[in-house]
Amino acid sequence: MATLITGLGLVGTSFAQLALKRGENIVFYDVAPRKDFLAQKLGSGNVTVLQNDIRDLPALIEAIQKHKVNTVFHTAGLIGGKVADPLYSGLQINVMGTINVAEAVRLTGVKRLIQISTMGVYDRRLEGSTPIDESFPRGPGEAYGNSKVAKELMVEAYQRLYGFELLIVRLANVYGVGHFAGGSAGGEMVQNLLKTGITGGVVRIKQEQARDFEYIYYKDLGRALERAATVALSAPMILNIGTGVISKFDDLTGTAEKLLPKLKVEMIPGKAPRSSKQPMDIAKAKQVLDWECEYNLEAGFKDYIEELKALG
C-alpha cells in the first residue's frame, strides 16, 4: 500500500521524510514537480513522482489504482494572492481540484483523506481575546481563505455521504527550506531573510508582509502529519496545527538579526499589514495526535540556517 501526496512542496516532503523511515511507499502527484527540490528534501529516497494536474480526474484515479494507494494527502493548490490572479483559474485549481481528489478517493476506495487546510479559513474580522479553536467561524471574505473554506466543505460533504476517514488539518504559516511555487509569501519572506543573512546584505520587505503571525517549523509539522496518517480515527476530525503563539514581526526580524549579524532589514513602505491578533488553540491536536512542538522561533531559525548552509 502507498500514500499519494498531491503537491510536491514543503508540506508534503515534511511528512514524506518521516513516512519513508517507517517503510511507507510515497507517490507525489504534481503539475510541475521540482526534482531538484525533491533531492534536497529526500535525497535518494525511493519515491514515485507523477506529473499531472489535479483537475485531471482520470489521471488521479489511475495513479491511485496503479500504486494501490490507501491514504491521500491533499496539499496541492494556490496560496495567498495567487488564488485571485486570476480568480476564475485560481478557484478551478483550488476548489475543483479538491472535488476531483474527493471523487477519486470515493471511486477507488481510499481509506483515509488528509486535507491540508490553513488558519486562513478563519474569519479574523471576528477575532476576540482568546485563542481560536476549530469551531471558530470560517470565511474571511478574500479569495484564498474562502477557497480553502470551500475545499473543507467539499471534502466534508463527500465524507458524510461515502464514509472514508477524514482529517482536516489547519496549518499555521509553515517555514523551512522550500520552493514556494504555490505562493506562500510568508514562507518565502522568511527564506529570503535567512539566505540574505547568511551571505550578508540587505533584505527589503514590503510593509504589507510585516505581519504578526503564527509560524510553525516544518519539522514540527512533519511529526504532526505523520501522526495524522497513522492515528486511529473513529470520526471525521478537524485539527489546528501550529505553535499556539503569535510571533511579532519585530521578533521575527530581531531573531534573524541576532543569529545572522551581517543581516540588515529595510522596509518598503506600502499597505498596512493585516496581523493576526490571536493564535490558534492547539490543545485538540496535542491530545489527539500525542504531539508537541519542539521548535520555538529561535530554535527553528537555527536549524533552518544550518540546512541552508549545508545546501550551499
pLDDT digits 0-9 by tens, 58-74? 999 999 999 999 999 99
pLDDT at 152: 98
Whether residues 167 and 145 fall in one domain: yes
pLDDT at 45: 81
Q: Are 209 and 189 in contact (CB under 8 A)?
A: yes
pLDDT tens-place string over residues 138-187: 999 999 999 999 999 999 999 999 999 999 999 999 999 999 887 788 89
Whether residues 132 and 199 fall in one domain: no
Whether residues 87 and 233 fall in one domain: yes
Find the CATH number of the domain harbouring 260.
3.90.25.10
Residue-range definition of the domain harbouring residue 26: 2-174+215-241
Element (H, E) at 216: strand 215-217
Specify burial of residue 202 (Cβ count, 10 A radius: 0-12, 13-18, 19+): exposed
Verdict on whether the full-model pTM lies above 0.75: yes
User: Is residue 48 in some structural domain?
Assistant: yes
Give the three cell numbers for residue 243. Answer: 505553535
CA–CA separation, 77 and 138 (whole Å): 19
Find the CATH number of the domain harbouring 157.
3.40.50.720
Residue 56, classed as helix, strand or coil, is coil
Paired with 174 in beta bridges are 216
Residue 246, classed as helix, strand or coil, is coil
Mean pLDDT of 7-16: 97
pLDDT tens-place string over residues 253-297: 999 999 999 999 999 999 999 899 999 999 999 999 999 999 999
Whether residues 183 and 169 fall in one domain: no
Whether residues 189 and 159 fall in one domain: no
CA–CA separation, 301 and 1 (whole Å): 36
User: Which residues are within 8 A (CB) of 141 and not within 5 positions of it... i.e. 6 or more apart?
Assistant: 123, 125
Whether residues 83 and 195 fall in one domain: no
Whether residues 254 and 272 fall in one domain: yes
